[in-house]
């Protein structure tokens, strides 16, 4: 199945979709450093994608019209991020209009867009409705000098008309926690999926495969978690009081897989504090200087990591640090962060540690992309 990837960044979404069976006809990204990462991985034979280092506003889709199964991408999220200035539709970094232009010109069978959960913030609710309706009816175009709210009104009228001609998509969206799909990180993202209406695809988001309760069962009911990691009894934390009360009532937890933890993600990696160099792993050099203070603590070893962010030393909650068993904190190496984002070990990041961490923090977890992309592929396969 053929795909076009926009706003590719360092390639997390593209990598997951490739693993789900999509063949990228074009991968579009304008950031020089992110393009450098994709090029270096291409040279090393890890991937083989046709990369276009260009601003998506200047990309010509004419060579790809009529044969694209999936259009995917993560339009820049700063306008809607909790950590940003929240300008939303008034922010020049808002690339949703370009994503919708691509839908209109390519007419793909399916679309998959990813963005931060801030897109669902109450203050952006009206604009999010606008985004969804534009994807649903991409040929109802924004007119020159038309205010976006006036365009929204036209789209609402068209939507309620009942009969629609031309290009149209069935669109659904959901806020997903990556940890629920096997990613060792609490990372909530809005996923928007649409299928061209003429295909008649019936589709829904796949059910969660992992859960917090299953992790608690693995740790405190069976003890398999500690045995798997060879953690001696004396080094195990005490049973949380909330779990102890559940156990008193015969609680055994669900039958899903356990959430994966930081300890799970880093299994098999040498300790960068005691190994020389990178220990034979790409991007596994330790950067010193981490410290903990109120409101700035690292991710515990035996839980999914906090949401990795596109920062380095100055991330507000210490999301790029891990909390060690002895009470100290240290920064994640770029390889450890890549593990937490479920990149394979042979996928390298090129540039400084700061730049690598920015690329990794901006990425879509590969495993989440593969899981959702695989279900989208099955939906397309069902209609031929």
Please report the pLDDT score of residue 90 as a whole number: 47
Q: What are the two backbone dihedrals, phi and then psi, of residue 301, each rounded to the nearest 5 degrees?
A: -65, -35
**Whether residue 38 is found in the same domain as residue 113:** yes
> Which listed residue (4, 26, 71, 77) is catalytic?
77
**Last residue of some domain: 255, 278, 312?**
255
Please report the pLDDT score of residue 116 as a whole number: 87
**Whether residue 65 is found in the same domain as residue 203:** yes
In a domain, 177, yes or no: yes
CA angle 27, 170, 183 (to 5 degrees): 55
Tokens 């010509």 belong to which residue? 60
**Whether residue 44 is found in the same domain as residue 188:** yes
Please report the pLDDT score of residue 88 as a whole number: 40
* Cα-Cα-Cα-Cα dihedral sign, residues 70, 75, 80, 83: positive
Residues 6+ apart with CB under 8 A from 21: 1, 373, 374, 377
pLDDT in tens, 195-211: 999 999 999 999 999 99
**Whether residue 80 is found in the same domain as residue 106:** yes
Residue 120 pLDDT > 50: yes
**Whether residue 109 is found in the same domain as residue 164:** yes
Write down the pTM of the prediction: 0.91
- The whole-chain average pLDDT of the chain stands at 89
In a domain, 124, yes or no: yes
pLDDT in tens, 241-273: 877 777 766 666 677 899 999 999 999 999 998
Number of structural domains (the chain) is: 2
Please report the pLDDT score of residue 79 as a whole number: 52
Q: Return the CATH number at 51.
A: 3.40.50.150
Q: What are the two backbone dihedrals, phi and then psi, of residue 359, each rounded to the nearest 5 degrees?
A: -65, -45
pLDDT in tens, 24-55: 999 999 999 999 999 999 999 999 999 999 99
Note if 35 is an active site residue.
no
**Last residue of some domain: 198, 223, 255?**
255
In a domain, 84, yes or no: yes
280 Ramachandran zone, left/alpha/beta (phi>0; psi -120 to 50): left
* Cβ atoms of residues 90 and 97 within 8 Å: no
In a domain, 369, yes or no: yes
Determine the angle formed by the axes of helices 353-362 and 32-43, rounding to 10 degrees. 90
**Last residue of some domain: 255, 270, 287?**
255
**Whether residue 78 is found in the same domain as residue 136:** yes
In a domain, 355, yes or no: no
**Whether residue 64 is found in the same domain as residue 168:** yes
In a domain, 192, yes or no: yes
**Whether residue 198 is found in the same domain as residue 232:** no
In a domain, 146, yes or no: yes
Helix H, strand E, coil C: the string for the chain is CEEEEECCCCCHHHHHHHHCCCEEEEEEECCHHHHHHHHHHHHCCCCCCCEEECCHHHCCCHHHCCCCCEEEECCCCHHHCCCCCCCHHHCCCCCHHHHHHHHHHHCCCEEEEEEEHHHHCHHHHHHHHHHHHHHHCCCCCCCCCCCHHHHHHHHHHHHHHCCCCCCCEEEEEEEEEHHHHCCCECCEEEEEEEEEHHHCCCCCCCCCCEEHHHHHHHHHCCCHHHHHCCCCHHHCCCCCHHHHHHHHCCCCCCCCEECCCHHHHCCCCCCCCCCCCCCCCCCCCCCCCCCCECCECCEECCCCECCCCCCCCCCCCCCCEEECCCCCEEECCHHHHHHHCCCCCCCCCCCCHHHHHHHHHHCCCHHHHHHHHHHHHHHHHHHC
In a domain, 175, yes or no: yes
Please report the pLDDT score of residue 19 as a whole number: 97
Please report the pLDDT score of residue 352 as a whole number: 87
189 Ramachandran zone, left/alpha/beta (phi>0; psi -120 to 50): beta
Q: Which domain holds residue 230?
A: 212-255
**Whether residue 143 is found in the same domain as residue 190:** yes
**Whether residue 9 is found in the same domain as residue 70:** yes
**Whether residue 147 is found in the same domain as residue 235:** no
β-pairing verdict for 23-29 and 2-6 = parallel
Average confidence (pLDDT) over 138-143: 93
**Whether residue 57 is found in the same domain as residue 184:** yes
Average confidence (pLDDT) over 293-304: 88
Q: What percent of the chain shows pLDDT beyond 90?
A: 66
pLDDT in tens, 57-89: 999 999 888 889 999 999 885 555 444 443 444
């Amino acid at each position: 199945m053929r795909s076009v990837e926009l706003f590719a960044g360092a390639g997390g979404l593209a990598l997951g979709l490739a693993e789900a069976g999509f063949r990228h006809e074009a991968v579009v990204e304008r950031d020089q450093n992110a393009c450098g990462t994709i090029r270096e991985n291409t040279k090393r034979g890890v991937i083989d994608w046709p990369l276009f280092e260009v601003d998506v506003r200047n990309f010509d889709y004419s060579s790809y019209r009529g044969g694209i199964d999936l259009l995917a991408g993560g339009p820049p999220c700063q306008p809607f991020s909790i950590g940003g200035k929240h300008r939303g539709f008034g922010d020049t970094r808002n690339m949703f209009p370009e994503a919708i232009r691509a839908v209109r010109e390519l007419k793909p069978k399916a679309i998959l867009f990813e963005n931060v959960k801030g897109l669902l913030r109450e203050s952006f609710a009206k604009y999010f409705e606008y985004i969804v309706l534009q994807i649903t009816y991409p040929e109802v175009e924004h007119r020159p000098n038309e205010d976006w709210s006036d365009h929204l009104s036209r789209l609402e009228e068209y939507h309620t008309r009942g009969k629609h001609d031309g290009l149209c998509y069935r669109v659904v969206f959901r806020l997903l926690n990556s940890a629920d799909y096997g990613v060792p990180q609490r990372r909530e993202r809005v996923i928007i999926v649409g299928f061209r209406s003429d295909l008649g695809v019936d589709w829904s988001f796949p059910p969660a495969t992992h859960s917090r309760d299953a992790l608690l069962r693995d740790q405190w009911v069976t003890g398999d978690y500690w045995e798997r990691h060879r953690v001696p009894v004396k080094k195990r934390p005490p049973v949380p009081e909330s779990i102890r009360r559940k156990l008193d009532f015969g609680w055994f937890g669900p039958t899903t897989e356990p959430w994966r933890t930081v300890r799970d993600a880093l299994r098999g990696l040498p300790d960068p504090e005691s190994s020389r160099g990178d220990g034979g792993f790409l991007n596994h050099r330790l950067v010193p200087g981490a410290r903990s203070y109120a409101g700035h603590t690292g991710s515990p070893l035996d839980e999914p990591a906090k949401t990795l962010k596109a920062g380095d030393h100055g991330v507000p909650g210490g999301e790029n640090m891990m909390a060690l068993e002895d009470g100290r904190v240290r920064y994640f190496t770029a390889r450890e962060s890549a593990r937490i984002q479920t990149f394979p070990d042979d996928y390298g990041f090129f540039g400084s540690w700061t730049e690598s961490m920015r690329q990794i923090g901006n990425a879509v977890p590969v495993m989440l992309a593969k899981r959702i992309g695989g279900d989208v592929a099955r939906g397309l396969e069902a209609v031929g």
